[in-house]
Structure 1
């Protein structure tokens, strides 16, 4: 649906790292909606300074809500990766101290538990947490082939295997991606993220006999079952394709409408230049049997 139909009023964007916070801001501004970006120091890119913005440090929970209220933001998007901070090294403001029991609860449990708790906490304050794909649907990967090259029959078999791996491991709150080559599972994404996983694959392949017949293998990314997609939707960008090429893969397949595409033109152009395919697939996969 068009971004302007979500609701009226300015949208707050809590920005972690990467280009997506600015992409969401551009989309909303183009639709005629005001935005205010709240950048987390040490995480958000300096590029957010091109938009109405406020910087906050980890622990400045009070400042976060004062900023949202002061700029009339009742809806907000939380977008961009962050590293889980060491609470022992954070200086909390008064607003955070009042919420200390909640903050301490975030030290327990996996990512899904933490992110779901954050959403419930924010919405308990009277705000509405929106998914980036809800307010800027054009940033989602569409279904179908996006590149000149498509997957081969062998690639399609690897994609099917990888989809099942991601689906199975996702139920255990383990990652959003997997790499499969010629039927062999080379890696699954854990806490290190997609790029680091692909770097592991590249090292693994260097240590093995040189592959024959050109590029082989696929990266598949999709949300975990029950994942809080409003604040943790998978994303790919040009670097994803570069790392996939370095790992000797033939291409990337992702869940259509469930994965964000950072810098669409650059990502597709990079894939084409490197001779990789990029496709959006139905998700979830067909049930076994």
Structure 2
């Protein structure tokens, strides 16, 4: 794998939950890019310890920047899920106190505002913030069908409707996903996330409010203008398992704008459950016309 995007120094990885931080690290190692992972305690997996790493707690901003500086990191990937910290119980180090105006600014606005502020904060410190797809393009969902099964004509109609719904939701800063079956919107994603969305759909089916064989599609795409470098939508094997439990026919996502975690396992899960998995063309310019 070639050295990516002219990374001149070391790559810093700020790691939250999941397997993606280690996947990025493995890609960097394979490309000969030196790296250092800063793992957030209580969020990041202990698996990061097989790479050069530093552990930090919420509030240890000084420790974070010392680790990045000491290891000559010039580029950053911020990857993995995190829970919002309880700031009443967070102990701030001197580095955090020096950035207190910035930390206080994070209490205002929605998720999109918060994430864009975080990116600007690191850029103002001289770092180049990279998306996971910059370092490991194979993580991005490609266009086309990855599963053995493809969508039917009825599925295609549901996919088209669902993308219109997701685009409308994105403009309202509501969520990144929806489920549509036979032209009807079964559920839309809000703050609870995609897994909970699919659980609600499974509950609706168990209640007998959806009849017949497998039908419906989960569609996922970023919000228009979303800061994809640190908040790109993600699907993985668990998405396939939950989609099957919800009785859906398949999953369609925005090609090039959704991360495919554990690619082989995700495709395997889709095939085991006889679901389709497709990447569809998508851009911020899409409309509901």
* TM-score > 0.5, shorter chain as reference: yes
**1:199 aligned counterpart, secondary structure:** helix
Partner of 1:39: helix, strand, or coil? strand
Residue 169 of structure 1: how far off its partner (Å): 0.8
Structure 1: unaligned runs, 5 residues or longer: none
Match of 2:235 in 1: 236
Question: Kindly tell me: are residues 81 and 139 of structure 1, through their superposed partners in 2, closer, same or farther at Cα, counting changes over 3 Å?
Answer: same
SS for the counterpart of 2:39 is: strand
- Provide the secondary structure at the position in 1 that maps to 2:73: coil
- What secondary structure is seen at the aligned counterpart in 1 of 2:185? strand
- 1:270 corresponding residue in structure 2: 269
For residue 238 of structure 1, report the CA deviation from its aligned partner. Answer: 0.4
Shift in Å, 1:74:
1.0
Alignment correspondent of 2:61: 61
Distance in 2 separating the partners of 1:58 and 1:149: 44
Q: C-alpha distance in 2, partners of 1:275/1:191?
A: 29
Q: Give the corresponding residue for 2:52.
A: 52
Q: Map 1:93-172 onto structure 2 (within 5 A).
A: 93-172=93-172
CA–CA distance in 2 between the matches of 1:241 and 1:6?
Answer: 35
- The separation in 2 between residues aligned to 1:34 and 1:134, in whole angstroms, is 16
Whether 1:203 and 2:203 are equivalent positions in the alignment is yes
The answer to whether the 8 A contact 2:5-2:134 is kept is no
Aligned residues between the structures: 288
Retained in 2: the 8 A contact 1:2–1:135?
Answer: no
- The answer to whether the 8 A contact 1:3-1:134 is kept is no
Deviation string 1:212-256 (CA, Å, 9 cap, x unpaired) is: 1x2111001111000000000011110010111111111100111
Q: Distance in 2 between matches of 1:205 and 1:130?
A: 41
Equivalence for 2:22 = 22
Distance 2:240 2:256 in 1: 19
Provide the aligned C-alpha RMSD in A. 1.4
Checking the alignment, whether the CA contact within 8 Å between 1:18 and 1:81 is kept in structure 2 is: yes
Cα distance in 2 between the residues matched to 1:39 and 1:49: 9
Aligned partners of 1:59 and 1:90 also within 8 Å: yes
Deviation at 1:6, TM superposition (A): 3.0
C-alpha separation in 2, matches of 1:281 and 1:5: 25
Partners in 1 of 2:5 and 2:61 — Cα distance? 29
